[in-house]
Every structure is written in C-alpha cells, then in structure tokens.
Amino acid sequence: MIRGRMADLPSVLMIFTGGTISMRIVPGRGALPASGGLEILESVPKLATIARITCEDFDRLPGPHWTPERMLDLARLIDRRLAGGEFAGAVITHGTDTIEETAYLLDLVLTTDKPVVLTGAMKTSDDPAWDGPKNLTAAVREVSTAPGGVWVVMAGRTHAARAVVKAHTEAFTAFISSPATTPRERIPTDTIEPHVDLIAAAAGADGKFVSHAVATGARGIVLEALGCGNVPPKMLEAVREAVLGGIPVVVASRCREGKTSATYGYEGGGVTLRDAGAIFAGDLAASKARIKLMVLLGAGRDPAAVRRAFEA
C-alpha cells in the first residue's frame, strides 16, 4: 500500500543553488554556504510524503554572487530536465537578495510550460527559527497546483515572478507583490547582453554616470528615475547623447508602485526624456527592466523592437 501511495505522488525536480537556506554561521565570519541538496532534504522528511523528489545540485551561490549569465545557465538546465515529461515541475532554492531577478529572467526565457517555483530562507539552517523547511514544503505543494510560469513562494505566499519584490531586509514576510495583471511575456534567446548598466537618479545628480556607462561600453542603460519617470536636469543631456549613440535608455522608477510615463514637461521631466528618445518601463522595477533589456538585446532586438517590448 505504501508503494502504491508513493507512485501516486507527483514527481518534482528540486534544484539547489545555494542561498541562506543552505548556510550556517561560522564564528567570526558570519553566515556562509555549507549544505548541499541532499543534506537539506534530510532535514525536511515531510517532503517525502507529498512528492517524489529528484535532487540536483547546481551551485552554492549567495544571492549577490549570481550573474545574469549564470541565471541563463540555470534556465537551460531547467528546460533540459523538464523536457522529458518525467516531472510535474521544478522547485529551485535561491538566495533571497536576487531571487526576484532570477525568477523574472526564467519567466522570460524558459520554454517549458510546467510550473517553476523558487524559494529560499531568511534564516540560516542552524538558527532555531530556520524557515527553510516550511518554504520548501510550500514550494513543492505549489508545483502541484500552480499554472505554468515562474513563481516565488516565501512565508506561505505565492508571488508571480514579474511582480515579486523583496521589501524587507530580514523579515520572514520580506516578499510582497501586487496582483499580476500583465500577461506573461516570453523572449526566446540563447544569449543575453551582459553590458547593461543600472543608474539611479537622486536629487542633484548629474549625467556623469550615464556618460561613464557609454564610455565603458554599455550596450544599454536603465535609469531608476524619480516619481513617474523624471530625472534632475543635469542628467538629461547625457541621456540624449547615449540615445544618439545607439544605446537604448529605459526609464523605470524608484517608486514601488505605479508606472513611468511622459507626464512632466520641465527639463528632465518625462516629456523631455521621451523627446530625447528614452523608453519607458511602465510598472516594471528597475532591476527587472535591466534583466528584460539584457534578454531583448541578447535576442537581437533592434531599438524599435525594444521600445515595443517595453511600451506595448
């Protein structure tokens, strides 16, 4: 009977990539990667009662050590492993500092229609309050119920990859999202353009960082602008020069909610950025606008196509 019940359980691919969920405190050094996938699974015996888990170690990366290139490597692995039909979907463990960026890149480039659920932990595995087991269990359950696409599950909440944001440095409920109203976008590509810079606007800022990005070979620039898409006036001329040089400049906002738009006509306002040739990211966060621009440029999209992809 037990064997029969096991056969009825969904088969889930679990890929371990590191993050706090795999870390322990080393005296005098802080939290460091320590555990591989099998060791973590042994700490969560309940998983064996809800799914047949196939464990695979991809890496032991802290969140800030991820690169978009490595994210693309992960996407290719997921597509290969889910292509055979053996698995209902995949759970990916990940560092929480960059989980939202990896989730969004996966959402854009994966070819699989099966659900992919990312999760992690806010506490290390040797902390009495370690939240890894609960998050892993919730993520595995989500694979059985979620539609296709990429999701982040933390603290019992499920977030769409495009909308999820880490809004607190250490709370268990660090992740929030607004309701996903934008249909999933897929951008087929085998490569990305890594030379895309993210530059923040702030009161009194000038254009030196935009000019430096151009001078050092940036192929695209994302501005984390103020309000609904405005920058200090001294940044505007550098934006004009970047666009004239063939470099797409995408305008996102440092605000957590709302869209960027060409609303204000003063120097540096959205209207003047639009007239300079800048592209507006809508409600997409700056970090995700950078990921999307990398993917679009890697896919060979020309400036007009890049604009359509953001402003459609």
Please state the φ and ψ torsions of residue 253, each to the nearest 5 degrees. Answer: -125, 150
Edge-to-edge strand ranges of the sheet holding 115-119 = 52-61, 11-18, 89-93, 115-119, 149-154, 157-160
For residues 201-219, one letter each, b for 16 or more C-beta atoms within 10 angstroms of the residue's C-beta and e for the rest, the string is beeebebebbbebbeeebb
Q: Which one of 20, 93, 96, 98 is the catalytic residue?
A: 20
Cα(281)–Cα(251) distance, integer angstroms: 6
Which candidate, 57, 19, 10, 21, places its Cα nearest to that of 36?
57
Cα(282)–Cα(178) distance, integer angstroms: 14
Cα(76)–Cα(79) distance, integer angstroms: 5
Cα(26)–Cα(284) distance, integer angstroms: 38
**H helices of 92-131, where?**
99-109
Cα(203)–Cα(31) distance, integer angstroms: 36
Please state the φ and ψ torsions of residue 195, each to the nearest 5 degrees. Answer: -90, 65
Fill in the DSSP letter of residue 282: T
Write out the H or E segment, with its range, that includes residue 158: strand 157-160
Cα(306)–Cα(312) distance, integer angstroms: 10
> Is 20 an active-site residue?
yes
Tally of residues, the chain: 312
Which residues are annotated as catalytic? 20
